[in-house]
Chains A and B, each alone.
Chain A
Amino acid sequence: MNGERAQEDPAASSSGCSESYEFSHAAAKAAVAQVCESVGYEHFKDPALESLAGFALQYILQLGKTAISFANLTGRSQCNVFDIILALEDLTGNDDGDGGVVSSESCSLGRSVKLKGIIDFVNSSEEIPFSQPLPRFPVAISKKKMMMIPSFVEIGETPPGNHIPLWLPAFPDPHTYKETPMWIERASDPRGDKIEQARQRRKAERALLSLQRKLVCKISSGTRVWGDMDGVKEDEGELLRSVSPSISGEKVESLNRDGLSVVEAFAPAMEAARDGFCSEVDTEWKKKKKPDALSKLRTEKKFLGEPLDLSLKMKGEDRPLSFVRDEDRDDKRRRAEFILRQCMENPVDLNQL
């Protein structure tokens, strides 16, 4: 067959008004086309073929309907051959002029014109089986494959509510329709956390110390008077600007008292930072009474005071300008002690400086 005939694959099923409609309709079209081909046709127009297939199906339906009604008339639910013969007669009508009267004799072979015609047709026409193998349809879903929702009894669940009988299908599990927030399991590692914390602290202190070292180098590189401290600070950047007045103020005071140069003031601190910070300071502490030691202490205090100040600055807190008085020295000393103790608790890797 070629040309305009629209040959559809009977095995292909697409969505139609009902799921099996498309499939059966396509199969009927193929069968009708084969019959027409046996009659003598070579080509088909699709609308003509479709309507002829529709008529054939309507014929089958009408035949079945009439046959079952004849069976029901006699009190039977299943049809037999005579019902079909009667239905054939009823459907097409007799040519013998009875006026369409269906009598009890008409179902016999002798009277039934249609049946004779069919017999002749069977005897005369060629046997043309259907061209393609047709699967058994509608497809029966076996119970094993069928996803049946089990009843309450089968699951062993009690239905929520006395009004629900046990033989009804069970409700779906709550996790299918309820959404709860997920608990993200975080492995807590206290030791790891402590180590991480210590590492971060060390990093911060290292950064501060390196900054102070830079500051010291800058100061010590040029023979500068105290007055130039501001200039030095400007080189360092804005961060130190706010620090400078406080530092300069304090150091000016100390200088005025002791007459030490900046390098001398910072030298012990630098040595301490390089060698072993805490032990040096300890020895310094013992020499409290010496004015040098005092001044050194003071400068060291200031030096030590810097990290605190700088850290405060970094945090964004405003440190009020305060001039050093005699009574403030004790406070500063106490503060220095506290900071020292803190440093001792967290061993700083000063070798990296």
Chain B
Amino acid sequence: MNHGQQSGEAKHEDDAALTEFLASLMDYTPTIPDDLVEHYLAKSGFQCPDVRLIRLVAVATQKFVADVASDALQHCKARPAPFVKDKKQQKDKRLILTMEDLSKALREYGVNVKHPEYFADSPSTGMDPATREE
């Protein structure tokens, strides 16, 4: 009984927090515009007149993109810098979103976007680096 009451209270709290969160969503403007999100949701059959839900989806997508981009940035920074003669230039690394970094980042999400290599020199071309070493 107590457990049920506690869970009931927790639920109330959760609901309150959820309501509060949805209300706060109205203040927060997501980067992806509402119209765009609504258009694509309508394409998949999602029908809802509530703007807050649209905003929730937009925020979720924004978080997803931000996560992927930050992972790719990590890969970009982790790559050893190219050899430069001048030491000053070394720190001035240009942060460019490339396909390489993106593919590495998306692999953790289960998406394979690896480009095939241009030259197939050896039998181990195109294989996973981990298996290649073996």
**Which stretch, B51-59, B82-90, B117-125, touches the partner chain A?**
B51-59
Tell me the chain B residues, 33-81 only, with Cβ under 8 Å from chain A: 33, 35-37, 39-41, 43-49, 52-53, 56-57, 59-66, 68-70, 73
* Smallest beta-carbon distance A227→chain B, Å: 109
Is the CB of A113 closer than 8 A to any CB of chain B? no
In the complex, how many residues of chain A place their beta carbon closer than 8 angstroms to a beta carbon of chain B? 62
Interface of B is mostly: helix
A122 touching B46 by the CB < 8 A rule?
no
Question: How many interface contacts (CB-CB < 8 Å) are there between A and B?
Answer: 179
Is the CB of A210 closer than 8 A to any CB of chain B? no
Bitwise, B92-111 to A at CB < 8 A (1) or not (0) is 00111111011000100001
Partner of B48, one of A44, A51, A78, A118: A78
Interface of A is mostly: helix
A122 touching B28 by the CB < 8 A rule?
yes
A44 touching B97 by the CB < 8 A rule?
yes
Given contacts A64-B57, A84-B57, contact A42 B95 (CB under 8 A): yes
A3 to B101, CA, bound (A): 18
B65 touching A79 by the CB < 8 A rule?
no
Chain B residues, CB < 8 A from A108: 10-11, 14-15, 18
Partner of A138, one of B29, B39, B111: B39
B97 touching A48 by the CB < 8 A rule?
yes
A80 touching B45 by the CB < 8 A rule?
no
B-contacting residues of A (Cβ < 8 Å)?
3-4, 20, 24, 27-28, 31-32, 34-36, 38-45, 47-49, 51-52, 55-57, 59-65, 67-68, 77-81, 84, 88, 108-110, 114, 117-119, 121-122, 125, 127-130, 134-138
A-contacting residues of B (Cβ < 8 Å)?
10-11, 13-15, 17-18, 21-22, 24-25, 28-29, 31-33, 35-37, 39-41, 43-49, 52-53, 56-57, 59-66, 68-70, 73, 94-99, 101-102, 106, 111, 113
